[in-house]
Amino acid sequence: MSKKGAVISAVLILLAAAFRAGMAYRERFPSQAYELTQVLVARADLPARTVLNEDLVETMQLPRYYMQQDAYELRSMSDIKLVNNLVTLVRIPKGNQLTRSVLGAGSAKAAADPGGPPSQRHYLEGVKYFQNASYEEARKEWKLALKSDPSNTEAAAGLKRIEQILSGSKK
């Protein structure tokens, strides 16, 4: 075989090997890795309990492979309004994707009242007192919690526990 024929054969073998390698790569990494999508991200650091509007979010284009599972994907520019009046449940750093799991339905009133219903607020205050061994203060808070919501089983259990502790210390 001539030198020219040997070179052509070598080039064809290299091209075939490169083609096979490219096919194997495509099989390992599906086309969705290359497909681009647009998602909503935080324009600035968003503290917990922030009521969202269009000015607090922006879009980012990235490969679909890197899109978080429950992220807000933009299919049209009107989709940016999907997050209006939603409240952040946790802090979202600048540039992070907005996901359904970190946003909740709410309003400015809900954001301004972080403790939730009065019964829950009193229960949580009682827990703080209980952990500091201020049992009389915890008792007062848990009684207020039950007064606000008689079905608050956590406050009832806390009161029962305080009665056990105080009856044991009086003996």
Contact 126, 145 (CB under 8 A): yes
pLDDT band at 125 (very low <50, low <70, confident <90, very high): confident
Contact 4, 18 (CB under 8 A): no
Contact 56, 42 (CB under 8 A): yes
Q: Which residue has the higher pLDDT, 67 or 171?
A: 67
- Rounded CA separation 77/139 (Å): 54
Full-model pTM: 0.47
- Rounded CA separation 54/82 (Å): 9
Within a 13 Å sphere around the CA of 171, how many CA atoms are in the beta-carbon half?
A: 5
**pLDDT score, position 19:** 72
Who's near 165: CB < 8 A, 6+ residues apart?
A: 135
Tens digits of per-residue pLDDT, 43-99?
999 988 888 888 999 999 999 888 888 888 988 888 888 888 888 888 889 999 998
Greatest CA separation for the chain: 109
Is the pLDDT reported for residue 21 higher than 90? Answer: no
Query: In 3-state terms, what secondary structure has residue 92?
Result: strand
DSSP E strands in 47-126: the ranges are 57-63, 86-88, 103-105
Contact 42, 71 (CB under 8 A): no
- Cα–Cα separations (whole angstroms), residue 134 to 14, 35, 77, 162, 169: 80, 59, 55, 10, 14
